[in-house]
């Protein structure tokens, strides 16, 4: 695009359509680069007229769903991003960069992200509360509860290899996994590969080195890759992993050795969630691996190069930056004020996830999580071990609170609610995190919900990852 814009009336005249039709195309996201300025749509001068939708012509054959096997699934942030079909704030989507997303405007604030080609056929986590939340939500996608397996990945692999059970699906296109991050996180004890926790999350009974400790569970993800032989895999962890000795390089080498060196692992990168429309300072390291024999020759050559051709680069293209950048067509970071749009105070809402928040007392600024959020900035990283360290939505004047207008209106000091944390992570409001026990399944408490949300990959970040792969799938695999 040349950077120059024109009016809807000028485009309507050029394309011989009504101005109303042009405005509809804009709201549907069918004109890449179109945006509102002072409430009026403006359109790039070199915009291309959208093709008519199925105007009596036979639609193209629907592509086969791509099967995803999800490990360490938690409450399904990565899975939701790969499935698609949820809504996010309009400001979180940059159609100047991702014009082919076909995001559908619901109103002035929200847009709906359409379903992707990916479909979850297996999920796994040892947390029963994660299974409860995941199965409750993903039932809307027609995914059965028995898709989610609660046994440890170590035990599942041993069962499969011992020919006792056929655990994993036979046709898998993608394996995803956010292997446990507590042992690599700056917020944790940083024991890394030498974790003092077992694969079940409990304290080890002895100090002997073991590949079954929590810090080495990525090796069991590697085993699943070897069993299922997907076309590709995606592994995710905290940024802190990259600062622990040569951990990142060891993990890359271990993943690339699966199936006798049958996978090409491209250099891992750290992604900042805020660069992709997530109102949060969260950073995650992402690993990609591709089955060499499944790649087209030109794709194998491109992905093997020291500098990957941008056309083949699997990493998603940033859509936002601090302050925005018109030259690069980047939007400003999405603020918490935008993310919290429409939320009532806990006492005034019917949403149980908005009513619930930590009542832990203020412990002083020297402790973690004792500051209030800046509504006109991005949010803090939502952590998984909150208890008394979940940030404040507002502090009292006595504790240094700066939301003076709210305090003057009598609004009380309180920490972020479950729903506010979920909004910061870009979970949709129809995802219910507080659940009663039912049909033999355990309940999910507010304390559980904080941990589940904090452990998750932001669904919108995962959607970026999935969309980039979906767009390049034929280029990679034919």
Nearest Cα neighbor of 1 from 97, 103, 94, 102 is 97
Q: Residues near 282 by Cβ (< 8 Å), separated by ≥ 6?
A: 272, 273, 274, 381, 382, 458, 461
Full strand arrangement of the beta sheet holding 66-71:
148-149, 118-124, 66-71, 174-177, 232-238, 283-291, 263-272
Give the count of beta carbons closer than 10 Å to the beta carbon of residue 360.
Answer: 14
Check: CB of residue 358 under 8 Å from CB of residue 415.
yes
Question: Where is 472: in which H helix or E strand?
Answer: helix 459-477
The dihedral region occupied by 177, where left means phi > 0, alpha psi between -120 and 50, and beta the remainder, is: beta
Active site residues: 181
> If you write DSSP's letter for every residue of 232-283 in order, what string do you get?
EEEEEEEGGGGGSTTHHHHHHHHHHTHHHHTEEEEEEEEEEGGGGT-SB--E
Place of tokens 């039932």: 139
Check: CB of residue 33 under 8 Å from CB of residue 44.
yes
> If you write DSSP's letter for every residue of 390-414 in order, what string do you get?
PPEEE--GGGT---HHHHHTTPPPE
Tell me whether residue 19 is exposed, middle or buried, using C-beta atoms within 10 angstroms of its C-beta: 0 to 12, 13 to 18, 19 or more: middle
Beta strands 263-272 and 283-291: pairing type?
antiparallel
What angle in degrees, to the nearest 10, is found between the helix axes of 297-304 and 459-477?
Answer: 130
Place of tokens 């027609």: 142
């Amino acid at each position: 695009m040349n950077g120059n814009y024109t009016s809807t009336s000028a485009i309507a005249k050029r394309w011989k359509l009504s101005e109303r039709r042009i405005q509809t195309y804009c709201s549907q996201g069918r004109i890449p680069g179109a945006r509102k300025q002072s409430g009026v749509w403006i359109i790039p001068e070199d915009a291309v007229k959208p093709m008519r939708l199925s105007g009596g012509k036979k639609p193209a054959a629907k592509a086969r769903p791509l099967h995803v096997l999800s490990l360490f699934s938690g409450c399904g942030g990565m899975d939701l991003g790969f499935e698609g079909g949820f809504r996010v704030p309009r400001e979180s989507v940059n159609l100047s960069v991702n014009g082919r997303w076909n995001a559908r405007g619901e109103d002035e604030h929200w847009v709906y992200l359409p379903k992707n080609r990916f479909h979850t056929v297996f999920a796994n986590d040892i947390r029963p509360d994660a299974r409860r939340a995941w199965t409750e939500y993903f039932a809307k996608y027609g995914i059965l509860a028995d898709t989610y397996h609660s046994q440890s990945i170590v035990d599942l692999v041993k069962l499969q290899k011992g020919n006792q059970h056929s655990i994993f699906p036979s046709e898998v296109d993608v394996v995803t996994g956010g292997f446990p991050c507590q042992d690599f996180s700056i917020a944790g004890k940083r024991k890394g590969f030498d974790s003092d926790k077992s694969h079940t999350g409990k304290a080890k009974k002895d100090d002997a080195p073991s590949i079954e400790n929590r810090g080495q569970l990525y090796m069991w993800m590697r085993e699943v890759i070897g069993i299922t032989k997907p076309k590709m895999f995606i592994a995710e962890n905290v940024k802190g992993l990259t600062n622990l000795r040569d951990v990142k390089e060891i993990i890359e080498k271990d993943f690339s050795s699966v199936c006798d060196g049958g996978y090409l692992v491209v250099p891992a990168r750290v992604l900042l969630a805020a660069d992709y429309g997530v109102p949060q300072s969260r950073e995650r390291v992402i690993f990609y691996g591709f089955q060499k024999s499944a790649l087209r020759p030109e794709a194998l050559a491109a992905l093997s190069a020291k500098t990957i051709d941008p056309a083949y680069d699997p990493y998603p293209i940033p859509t936002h930056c601090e302050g925005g950048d018109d030259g690069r067509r980047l939007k400003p970071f999405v603020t918490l004020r935008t993310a919290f749009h429409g939320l009532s105070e806990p006492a005034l809402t019917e949403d149980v996830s908005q009513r619930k928040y930590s009542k832990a007392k203020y412990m002083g600024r020297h402790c973690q999580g004792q500051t209030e959020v800046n509504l006109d900035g991005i949010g803090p990283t939502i952590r998984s071990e909150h208890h008394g360290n979940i940030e404040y939505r507002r502090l009292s004047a006595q504790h240094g609170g700066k939301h003076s207008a709210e305090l003057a209106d009598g609004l009380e000091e309180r920490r972020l609610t479950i729903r506010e944390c979920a909004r910061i992570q870009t979970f949709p409001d129809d995802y219910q995190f507080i659940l009663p026990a039912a049909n033999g399944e355990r309940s999910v408490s507010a304390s559980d919900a904080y941990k589940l949300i904090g452990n998750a990959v932001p669904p919108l970040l995962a959607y970026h990852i999935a969309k980039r792969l979906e767009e390049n799938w034929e280029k990679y695999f034919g």
